Structure 1
């Protein structure tokens, strides 16, 4: 049996060596399995790739992939999945928030017949209350809006069987929300709760602005609910405006009321204008994603790929 571990990294040189020590210890305990790890450098500005190369030179189970620039975690993860061919693939970050020691548990459930085994965060150490609150709110919003149920409090840390991996390789959209895509492929899936640790070193690459845009990508990739909401709000507003207009006309014809109230008129105009701009913004988000998809650019470009020494034919 062949196990591959994909580790996307961006400016993670401080954590990589410790991560590999713990991962190698897990590999050593997996009797009867051929193990390898693919480190993907997503255009790091520090010496992340140099550390990856040194790990590859010291361990024959290590492969390295360097992208031509920073494409973002979703595409770096996609590149890693494209370059592995194994019976089972584990996706994990290099910051040690997700424990490599949980991999044998994933493998045990995979052997029971599960195609996707994912880690669900029972706790999130080292994160602010605001970060935990916004993350919880995002997953619950996605749960309600998306036709594809995205598991709550679940990141990218998971195991994929070969057929789940083959399914992922067929999904070539450019605006990628991997958590949703992992669920979209279906098959038999299982959650494994665990306690998430704080980062071993460095700082998170996701500030609140990037997280906000990430949430927009997730919602627009897996739900048309914002478009429907814009339609409903517009229809409701138009109905209220029509009823109010009829009332003003009746007052003028029956009681001879003159139409007054410049401030209230401005308030209505500004409100309706704001609703229209919000609706146009929602449409623009979807239209912008169609524009990106229509250009048909490659998902990523590879600078260098070096296969593990245990597979010399792949060099």
Structure 2
């Protein structure tokens, strides 16, 4: 156990999680007691309301105990940005990031903190989801990480998300990364630091529904590639070269048949196939380049990553009472 009293900030983004508020607040109260007893840490909770349309913020404010604050963003900026907003407010010795739907449990949180404090050389301890998904989804996930980690000087761990605890220098380093289109998994890996993985199985949601569907995951994957990998451009470039060589080979075949064998040149069908093939490749390449250009444009505008509507603190509530 540390001899000096340390501080810990719990950063929790949420969006339309009113159904989980009471149960999450109760779990946090138990977690704070355990952290104080086991690790001699003072605890503050920083919740980030990512533009919720329900009464989640007010339900959290009524249910939370101890030292807490709720940062309400002006609209829904996305979970990745909401995590940054919480890190911007955090200034404790340790920072724990967890979700409000109770899939990140108290026991695993304590395990993460214990692992970090047990090894002074560690900077980050993160949780890795060990639950097996569907067979097709698992294969796509493996392919995604294999592609995005190719030709990189760092590896993005598979099935590792925001559920992690870090020391203050790590949290401050992450706040310096002001990407507008954020992929936190990539940013964590890019920042480096000495880390350790701990497997866990997410608990069932207490309320509400998951905000991630197939289309959202596909868009998120595309954003990850355009932010951290040149592989899609290289794949399209190789496909274009292969198509060009195939076209040249076919043209040579037709020329030889006409000159030496007197075979009539194929007409409209061959032309239509060629136009469709090369036209499709060109449009695909232009679309992919457009994605990269859009990312570049978004970053160059230099808008703020998020806008805070207001901040509700436990102290202000106590004053009002």
Distance in structure 2 (CA, Å) of the matches to 1:289 and 1:68: 22
Specify the alignment match of 1:263 in structure 2.
Answer: 269
What CA deviation, in whole Å up to 9, does each residue of 1:112-145 have, x standing for no partner? 1311111011116xx7666556545544443447
Equivalent residue in structure 1 for 2:20, among 15, 19, 44: 15
Distance in structure 2 (CA, Å) of the matches to 1:136 and 1:204: 22
Q: Is the counterpart of residue 192 in structure 1 residue 201 in structure 2?
A: no
SS across alignment from 1:40:
strand
Task: State how 1:1-315 maps to structure 2 within 5 Å.
Answer: 1-30=6-35, 31=37, 32-56=40-64, 59-111=65-117, 112-113=119-120, 114-123=122-131, 134-135=140-141, 137-144=143-150, 147-309=153-315
Calculate the TM-score normalised by the size of structure 2: 0.89
Distance in structure 2 (CA, Å) of the matches to 1:97 and 1:139: 23
Consecutive unaligned residues of structure 2, counting only runs of 5 or more, are 1-5
Distance in structure 1 (CA, Å) of the matches to 2:140 and 2:203: 18
What CA deviation, in whole Å up to 9, does each residue of 1:171-217 have, x standing for no partner? 00111001111111111010001111221111111121111101111
Distance in structure 1 (CA, Å) of the matches to 2:152 and 2:59: 40
Distance in structure 2 (CA, Å) of the matches to 1:74 and 1:101: 24
Distance in structure 2 (CA, Å) of the matches to 1:84 and 1:65: 12
Distance in structure 2 (CA, Å) of the matches to 1:146 and 1:44: 37
Calculate the TM-score normalised by the size of structure 1: 0.91
Change (3 A) 1:295 1:87: same
Question: 1:7–1:80: 8 Å Cα contact kept in structure 2?
Answer: yes
Question: 2:20–2:208: 8 Å Cα contact kept in structure 1?
Answer: yes
How far 1:250 sits from its partner (Å)?
2.5
SS across alignment from 1:309:
helix
Number of aligned pairs? 307
After alignment, is 88-97 or 245-254 more displaced? 245-254
- Provide the alpha-carbon RMSD of the alignment: 2.0
Distance in structure 1 (CA, Å) of the matches to 2:313 and 2:27: 21
What CA deviation, in whole Å up to 9, does each residue of 1:29-83 have, x standing for no partner? 1231111111110110000111122135xx2311111001111111111111111
Question: 1:61–1:308: 8 Å Cα contact kept in structure 2?
Answer: yes
Change (3 A) 1:203 1:136: farther
Consecutive unaligned residues of structure 1, counting only runs of 5 or more, are none
Question: 2:25–2:60: 8 Å Cα contact kept in structure 1?
Answer: no
Change (3 A) 1:94 1:192: same
SS across alignment from 2:71:
strand
